[in-house]
Amino acid sequence: MDDGLNSEQIDQFRQMLLERQAELKAREADGAGWRGPVELDQQSVGRLSRMDAMQQQEMAQAEARRRQSDLARIEMALVRMAEEEYGWCAECGEPIARRRLEIDPAAALCVGCAR
Ligand SMILES: [Zn+2]
């Protein structure tokens, strides 16, 4: 029988969320200098490597978008935590399995509703 999380468990998940948030923000800061080198090298690189650079830039942009949505999910989870709704399914109101939160602490839905 799972009847929600105690405050100690919530603290653990808060730690996990804050660590992920810090990690994502650090990577975001790394990625900020990305466009520069591509422009600077443009004269010295051939067409192929320029395409490589463009492809890499596209991948970096896709990763940035993923990072943005991950950050948004983490922020929402922290808000739910502040409102004491964390760990409860946003759809059906049942507790979210702890194992599920251990894999994805930002999960807002129980396994049944996420399906
Ligand atoms: Zn549910």
Distance, in Å, from the CA atom of 12 to the CA atom of 82, rounded to the nearest integer, reads 14
Amino acid identity of residue 114, one-letter, is A
Phi, psi of 88 (to 5 degrees): -110, 135
Q: Residue 43: what pLDDT? A: 56
Is-contact 60 34, C-beta < 8 A?
Answer: yes
Quote the DSSP letter at residue 88.
B
The rounded mean pLDDT for the chain is 88
Gap from CA of 98 to ligand 1 centroid (Å): 13
The average pLDDT across 73-99 equals 96
State the distance from the centre of ligand 1 to the C-alpha of 62, rounded, in angstroms.
30
Evaluate whether 74 touches 106 at the Cβ level (below 8 Å): yes
* Predicted structure pTM score: 0.77
pLDDT of residue 46: 72
73 pLDDT exceeds 50? yes
**Residue 13 CA, ligand 1 centroid: distance in Å:** 19
Between the CA of 42 and the centroid of ligand 1 the distance, in Å, is 51
- The domain 7-114 is placed in CATH, from the list 3.90.580.10, 1.20.120.910, 1.20.210.10, 3.40.605.10, at 1.20.120.910
Q: What is the mean pLDDT of residues 7-27?
A: 95
> What would the mean pLDDT of 24-50 be, rounded to a whole number?
68
